[in-house]
Structure 1
Amino acid sequence: MGISRVLVTGGAGFIGSNLVDRLLAEGVDVDVVDNLVTGSLSNLSSARAQNTARFSFHKLDVCDVALEEFVGKKRPDVIMHLAAQIDVRSSKVDPYYDAKVNLLGSIRVLEAARKAGVTKVVYAASGGALYGDLAEVPTTEDCEFAPISPYGISKATVLQYLKLYRDLYDVEYTALAMANVYGPRQDPNGESAVISIFGSAMMKGDDVQIYGDGKQTRDFLYVDDAVDAFIKAMDLGGGLTINVGTSQETTVMELFDEMAMQIGYTKKPHFAPARAGEILRSALDIRRARDHLGWEPWTSLRNGLSSTIEWMRDS
């Protein structure tokens, strides 16, 4: 499709702002919607310094009915929907707020897309939270969803709405089930930002705390690779949920050791009880991404960590 304008919800966030930079580099006009609850305008400093005719920022909540009027005015070709409540623990403390942002906010985005005639919505789903602990690893998209947190349930339910809007209203979609994305601009105060949390503590010489025994695994994906999947999904993967990861399991202890080596951190980690609602193993099978998006990751964990640590030192 000929794509000239894209709306990015949550565009002031970690992944969203990196996506904005890539879209602008591709020559696409970009509008960002973000309520700045967790996002930051500093993440958009590069975009704002460029030609303002091709970029605009709007402080707006995706739950607000004003979003529909805004989308109708801008009429983007594609909506990249990344705005979300992403904290698993917060979803257990306040499941109502989690559902409001992740489910009702997504329905608002879909209604706005339907009314404005938007060609496609690309949705940032969550791989590990969707599949839970019952899945084989690496996990394929055919695995039955078994979320173990309100966050996982809200993200899984949005996939049903995406399919419904495609069937009823011809609003095309691709849902990208993301692995654990890391890289520059990730907030170390975020619940799922283990790499930023470890890096921040190590650089200060503080103790590093690991919840559980450190043998739990995650699929760590560098942000540039994740952004590339969003770019490819603008044209490809219609009607599909597609895993975006590395297919590789890395234990938390392996991650700790690699980061400690690169940073020069010599302390041992402190262990705390495992947190309820967190999965033990996670890695995503990415064969569908290869087949339907022509996508695969190219950044090794070692190289991605090196780039991330360099950014943390400079910021």
Structure 2
Amino acid sequence: MKILVTGGAGFIGSHVVDGYIKAGHDVVVVDNLFTGKRENINPEAKFYEIDIRSKGLEKIFEREKPLIVNHHAAQISVPVSVENPIFDAEVNIIGLINILQACVKYGVKKIIFASSGGAIYGEAQEYPTSEKYPPLPLSPYAIAKLTSEYYLEFYRHQYRLNYTILRYANIYGPRQIPKGEAGVVAIFIENLLSGRPSVMYHFPDEPDGMARDYCYVEDVVKANILVLKNGSNEIFNIGFGKPTRTRELYKRLYDLVNNSNPSLRSPVPAPPRPGDIKRSCLNIDKAKRMLGWTPDVSLEEGLKKTVGWYSTHKV
């Protein structure tokens, strides 16, 4: 089938494109290359360099007539959303609405939406957190993701446009940009390979850093393939289901890089940034039960693969 992937030149989106093409699908990529990279684009995909907020997006839908839209294009930084909430809303909300309007007009059957389990639940009292837990977003980024989910439900109700929402944990792997809080694995690896110190943000009562649920990108691709035909009008947490503290993550990467510089043995502590939450870990039982999805790549294996990739690629 023909699938249009927004953000298909980005970190997660490009891996999803690869997975779809490998599965035999016809893929169209839409990306403005603001954070995505041309070299990430699968050569078998048809590429349009365009912003998802552009009026010209409709012409692409008219020409390509995709059956499925996979929406990964986004402003992904929590601190950026705090500093510039208008820009965040323009990309993450207005951009989505522009896509949804085109979906309705040109007969798209389903949209797969990349949401954020790592941010949308806020400081959840249920831990690990299930999809039933009421979201408590604590940043404009998380607010925009939750608002987008409500828009998807409206378009299903009003226009019968099916959707599947994937609430991601902290995703890592090859091609990740070493910027922002979402890219902490890439940031630590790049710094260790370059001999630079790394910063570990933490709350005063938690000196070992924040707890996060790290999931390898190949497992995320599996989920995006499964929901092409399953899980319509449902929300699924996609993560590994186990928390890891930032200090532990850094130590594992330090050992994998085999850095002999003792000054880099520990990260430099720093106070939390606006929008940071203390802990996040997802309950993934629903995805296991309804999709037959499970994460197969352990943190140790995933970090090893990621370090190997960055050791041979310049980002």
Identify the residue that residue 294 of structure 1 maps to in structure 2: 292
Residue type of the alignment partner of 2:272:
A
CA RMSD of aligned residues (A): 1.0
After superposition, give the CA deviation of every residue in 1:134-185 in whole Å (9 maximum; x if it has no partner): 3311000011110100000000000001111111111000000000000000
The reply on whether 1:255 has 2:249 as its aligned counterpart is yes
Letter of the aligned partner of 1:200 in structure 2?
Answer: E
1:61 and 2:51 equivalent?
yes
Distance in 2 between residues matched to 1:262 and 1:253, nearest whole Å: 14
Decide whether the 8 Å contact of 1:6 with 1:77 is kept in 2: yes
Offset at residue 68 of structure 1 (A): 1.8
1:21 aligns with 2:18: yes
Q: Say yes or no: does 1:198 pair with 2:192.
A: no
| 1:163-202 to 2 correspondences below 5 Å | 163-202=153-192
Q: Give the Cα separation in 2 of the matches to 1:99 and 1:159.
A: 14
- For the 8 Å contact 1:6–1:30, the answer to whether it is kept is yes
Q: Which residue is 1:152 aligned to?
A: 142
**2: CA distance between counterparts of 1:7 and 1:15?**
14
Give the structure 2 partner of residue 5 of structure 1: 2
User: Which residue of the partner structure matches residue 121 of structure 1?
Assistant: 111
Contact 1:34–1:83, Cα closer than 8 Å, also in 2: yes
The alignment of Structure 1 onto Structure 2 pairs a total of residues equal to 305
Pairing partner for 1:43 from 40, 62, 66: 40
Question: Is the 1:128–1:279 contact (alpha carbons within 8 Å) kept by the matching residues of 2?
Answer: no
**1:69 CA drift (Å):** 2.3
Partner of 1:73: 63
Matches of 2:220 and 2:211, distance apart in 1:
19
Moved more, 217-226 or 69-78: 69-78
Following the alignment from structure 1 to structure 2, what is the Cα–Cα distance between the partners of residues 257 and 77? Answer: 45
CA distance in 2, matches of 1:10, 1:269: 32
Asked if the contact 2:7–2:74 (Cα under 8 Å) also holds between the matched residues in 1, the reply is: yes
Q: Secondary structure in 2 aligned to 1:27? A: coil
* Amino acid corresponding to residue 38 of structure 2 in structure 1: L
Gaps in structure 2 of 5+ consecutive residues: none
Q: Using structure 1 for the length normalisation, give the TM-score.
A: 0.95
The answer for the alignment partner of 2:209 in structure 1 is 215
> Shift of residue 273 of structure 1?
1.3
Contact 1:14–1:39 under 8 Å retained in 2: yes
Question: What is the rounded CA distance, in whole Å, between the counterparts of 2:162 and 2:213 in structure 1?
Answer: 28
Residues 201, 208 of structure 1: 8 Å contact kept? yes
SS at match of 1:176: strand
* Corresponding position of 1:140: 130
Equivalent position SS for 1:260: helix
Q: Which residue of 2 aligns with 1:104?
A: 94
Query: Which stretch of structure 1 is more off in the superposition, 115-124 or 214-223?
Result: 214-223
Once residues 213 and 55 of structure 2 are traced to their aligned partners in structure 1, the CA distance between those partners, rounded to angstroms, is 36
Distance in structure 1 (CA, Å) of the matches to 2:224 and 2:125: 25
Question: Contact (CA 8 Å) 1:221, 1:246: kept in 2 or not?
Answer: yes
Deviation, structure 1 residue 268: 2.1
Q: SS state of the match for residue 182, structure 2?
A: coil
- d(CA) in 2 for partners of 1:25, 1:180: 25
Task: State the AA in 2 paired with 1:7.
Answer: L
Question: Displacement of 1:246 after TM fit?
Answer: 1.1
